[in-house]
Amino acid sequence: MPDRTAKVVAITGASSGIGEATARRLAADGHRLFLGARRTDRLDRLVMEITATGGTAAARRLDVTEAADVQDFVAAAGERYGRVDVMVNNAGVMPLSPLEALRTKEWNRMIDVNVRGVLHGISAALPVMRAQGAGHIVNIASVGAHEVSPTAAVYCATKFAVRAISEGLRQESAGDVRVTLVSPGVTESELADGIADPAARAAMRTYRAAALPASAIADAVAYAISQPPQVDVNEIVVRPAASAQ
């Protein structure tokens, strides 16, 4: 049977898209949430909406590219609720462009958020979970962790890295900390809004013609963390049924 015990769940990138949808779903399931993102106005509104419907949530401004900020975020979650059961490393950016465009600042931003941000989340949460004797780290990747497409080389490289990091952590965890990689296909979110390259932006309009609601990814996260302690759901790939990619 699934594990119905209410958990303390920390979520990065919780102000919109998959992070927001995951917060809403997990709050509805009775979990206690600690939410982080840079846009505190959206976080505060989300917390108000969750608590108004009987859920439990709090929030703190978070920049996942700053290791100390992520450490403080996880520590604050622990101080508020007494433990941290699940860390959802969701924050991500996707400013696609052809390599020949040489948008090096965008490349570095993707590396900082998509890779270092996940590592910072792991480094903050793992010692807490080890001390508790249990925990669950959920990393949000992409179908880009399994395939590469034009204009997405660097983005896919960051998601391949998240997949490798997740598998390495799983092998090292010896059962006390569960690890799940969730790889969404095209999903309704603000990720594509950050694409400045005209060719990549045009290609993405076609690519995103069929898109999942963010709630579909939230459902996958909810499923993974609801399993009993002896069950470790390692990878979930969720694509639109109409998508060939």
In 10 A of CB 69, how many CB atoms?
Answer: 17
Q: Are 36 and 73 in contact (CB under 8 A)?
A: yes
Task: Find the DSSP H helices in 2-116.
Answer: 17-28, 40-52, 67-81, 104-110
Supply angle C-alpha 170, 75, 190, rounded to 5. 70
In 10 A of CB 217, how many CB atoms?
Answer: 27
Compute CA distances 215 → 104, 187, 222, whole Å. Answer: 33, 9, 10
Tokens of 127: 């010692």
Type of residue found at 34: F
- The label of the residue with tokens 């092998």 reads 171
- Judge residue 139's burial from the number of C-beta atoms within 10 Å of its C-beta, 0-12 exposed, 13-18 middle, 19 or more buried: buried
Task: Decide: helix, strand or coil at residue 124.
Answer: helix
CA distance 17 to 97: 22
- Nearest Cα neighbor of 58 from 78, 69, 66 is 78
Note if 207 is an active site residue.
no
* Catalytic entry in 81, 155, 207, 223: 155
Which residues are catalytic, by number? 155
